[in-house]
């Protein structure tokens, strides 16, 4: 019997129910930009993050002055909010020790899609090796859930998922059965020498470039800038 653990990739929250039986741990990914912003916020001292699905829920939290409340839709900060989804907005001293409430177009939705999973962590390119080390240590069946764009496949999340698959498979301790995992690995192998260039024509890079967010894109596509691994506890995230 093959005693290796599985690592599989789910391309979109809409496909989650087809893959969920594979998972003891779900890694939620939204490289551009929600999960990169979440990692950056913890890296800069945020204590807790509450991902919420709707702008209305986020507005409720604004009544309490102890929270930083952030809302992004289609790449822009929602009117009436000071914070959105840029990792750079969390790189400041004032966020230390605070709780962030965050709603985004796809990333926080994917987080809630995995609500029935036993164990959920947050991955991105910026914490790639730390996520892999965590998965080696836990040594359970892994499912990587790409947030995609409005339930559609997206390249940047798939490449990040492929990087995790590649690292786990190369150890000989994990195996993959599904074509989605193999495809993600091959996409990563073709992109790895220049992820930024490879994604030049991708729809989300074009969308963010049109909003003058090139600096954010560069940051989010640069692997291994932090060893933070955000972990779900109850319905919020803490630094692992
Ligand atoms: O969809 C999301 O969760 C966002 O990360 C999208 S954006 O990068 O802010 O456009």
Number of CB atoms found within 10 A of residue 205's CB: 21
Spell out the residues 6+ positions from residue 68 whose beta carbon is closer than 8 angstroms to its own. Answer: 46, 83, 95, 98, 99, 100, 101
Span 66-71, average pLDDT: 94
What's the CA-to-centroid distance between 5 and ligand 1, angstroms?
31
Candidate from 28, 33, 111, 209 with most ligand 1 atoms within 8 A of CB, to mutate: 33
| pTM metric for this prediction | 0.96
What's the CA-to-centroid distance between 84 and ligand 1, angstroms?
9
Angle separating helix axes 155-170 and 179-191, nearest 10 degrees: 100
Residue 88, CA atoms < 13 Å, CB-side half-sphere: 7
Span 7-22, average pLDDT: 93
Q: What is the pLDDT of residues 204-220, one digit of tens each?
A: 888 888 888 899 999 99
What's the CA-to-centroid distance between 18 and ligand 1, angstroms?
24
Give the per-residue pLDDT at 32.
94
Give the per-residue pLDDT at 96.
95
Segment (H or E) for 17: helix 16-19
Q: Which stretches within 51-199 are classed as H helix?
A: 55-61, 107-113, 128-138, 155-170, 179-191, 195-198
Q: Are 69 and 55 contacting, i.e. CB atoms less than 8 angstroms apart?
A: no
Q: Are 217 and 208 contacting, i.e. CB atoms less than 8 angstroms apart?
A: yes
């Amino acid at each position: 019997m093959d005693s290796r653990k599985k690592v599989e990739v789910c391309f979109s929250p809409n496909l989650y129910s087809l893959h969920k039986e594979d998972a003891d741990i779900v890694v939620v990914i939204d490289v551009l930009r929600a999960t990169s912003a979440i990692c950056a916020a913890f890296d800069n001292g945020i204590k807790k993050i509450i991902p919420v699905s709707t702008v209305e829920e986020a507005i409720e939290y604004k009544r309490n002055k102890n929270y930083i409340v952030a809302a992004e839709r289609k790449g822009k900060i929602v009117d009436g909010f000071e914070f959105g989804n840029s990792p750079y907005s969390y790189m400041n001293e004032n966020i230390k020790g605070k709780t962030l409430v965050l709603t985004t177009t796809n990333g926080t939705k994917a987080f809630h899609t995995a609500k029935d999973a036993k164990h959920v962590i947050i991955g991105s390119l910026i914490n790639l090796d730390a996520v892999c080390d965590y998965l080696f240590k836990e040594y359970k069946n892994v499912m990587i859930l790409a947030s995609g764009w409005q339930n559609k496949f997206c390249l940047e999340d798939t490449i990040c998922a492929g990087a995790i698959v590649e690292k786990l498979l190369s150890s000989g301790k994990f195996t993959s059965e599904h074509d989605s995992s193999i495809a993600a690995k091959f996409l990563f192998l073709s992109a790895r020498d220049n992820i930024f260039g490879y994604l030049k024509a991708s729809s989300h890079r074009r969308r963010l470039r049109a909003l003058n967010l090139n600096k954010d894109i560069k940051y989010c596509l640069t692997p291994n800038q932090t060893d933070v691994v955000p972990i779900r506890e109850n319905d919020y995230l803490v630094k692992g």
